[in-house]
Structure 1
Amino acid sequence: MQALNFPQFSFRFKNNENKISIFDEIRKKFVILQPEEWVRQHCVQYLMNVKKYPKSLINVEKELIVNTLKKRYDIVVFNTNGSIHLIVECKAPKITINQKTFDQVARYNLELDASYLMVTNGLNHYYCQMDFNNKCFHFLKDIPEYI
């Protein structure tokens, strides 16, 4: 797999019928290693090991309803009170992050009300903090560490 713009992390892999799988610590199972999954797993490790978010507050690939349509978010980090702290949208490295990508995570946030948004293709990472009073968001250099 392609090198990404994240620190080096160690992963568990499995080869079954010529399909490589990677172990997802959050879902506690092996999942087929696709380019987007490679980015997602790096991002999860980044959140846990660099930003110190507890594994118990991280959720991966769950369904949500947006305007009666079923969608799946990539990563959500909860606050201890159950509200949502961060939504992460992961794309494969070959996917260019553009306005459409931000629109996707913004639509998810209409339902989830996260304080922070992150969009990454593993090579480029973008971070925003929501400003609900002014109905906009502000770009950040990084997301805050867990406190």
Structure 2
Amino acid sequence: MTHGTIYDPIRRKDVPDTPEERVRQATVQFLLNEIKVPAHLITVEFGLCAIDPKTDDRVDIIVSNFREGATLDKPWLLVECKAPGEYTWEALQVQLNRYLKVLTPKFVMLALGDAVRYFERDDATGRFKKIEKLPDFK
């Protein structure tokens, strides 16, 4: 079965149109249009090897936090996207925990199809708590 393509405005190219890519692109549009994240701060398919050469993991989306002087390993937001029906929240959490060994994001967004969960990191404890929605990107 061949898939068409879908345009990724962040990577500026057509990418294979898969169920997971549709979730990823819907998330990119949400970040651009609803949360008001400047496009130049969004990275899609971010290779963690840029921070830890021992890993070949790739994060679906990160939003950099350079304006607060944060380094690459401390993004404003880390997003993991999965197609509906392919994963469970628990499986997504396991994958996320691997990323959190390398990254220290302020916020985390997990998108499992249309279902989305948001978390905010408590700077004092380093733990994440569930929140209702992401704040606007100021």
TM-score tier, shorter chain, comes to 0.7 to 0.9
In structure 1, what residue type is equivalent to 2:130?
F
Q: Quote the offset at 1:106 in angstroms.
A: 2.7
Quick one: percent identity of the two aligned structures? 35
Equivalent pairs, count: 130
Q: Higher mean Cα deviation, 98-107 or 45-54?
A: 98-107
Contact 1:60 1:73 in 2 (8 A): yes
Partner of 2:21: 37
Q: Do residues 73 (structure 1) and 59 (structure 2) align?
A: yes
Structure 1 unaligned regions, length at least 5 = 1-17
Partner of 1:119: 110
Contact 1:128 1:139 in 2 (8 A): yes
Partner of 1:9: none
Contact 2:24 2:60 in 1 (8 A): yes
Equivalent in 84, 107, 121 of residue 130 of structure 1: 121
Q: Quote the offset at 1:39 in angstroms.
A: 0.1
Q: Quote the offset at 1:136 in angstroms.
A: 1.6
Distance change >3 Å, CA 133–CA 67, structure 1 → 2: farther
> C-alpha offsets along residues 75-121 of structure 1, whole Å, 9 cap, x if unaligned?
00011234410000000012343222123123212212111101002
Q: Give the aligned CA root-mean-square deviation in angstroms.
A: 1.7
Contact 2:44 2:62 in 1 (8 A): yes
Instruction: Provide the TM-score with structure 2 as the length reference.
Output: 0.86
Partner of 1:19: 3
Structure 1 runs of 4+ aligned residues shifted over 4 Å read none
In structure 1, what residue type is equivalent to 2:30?
Y
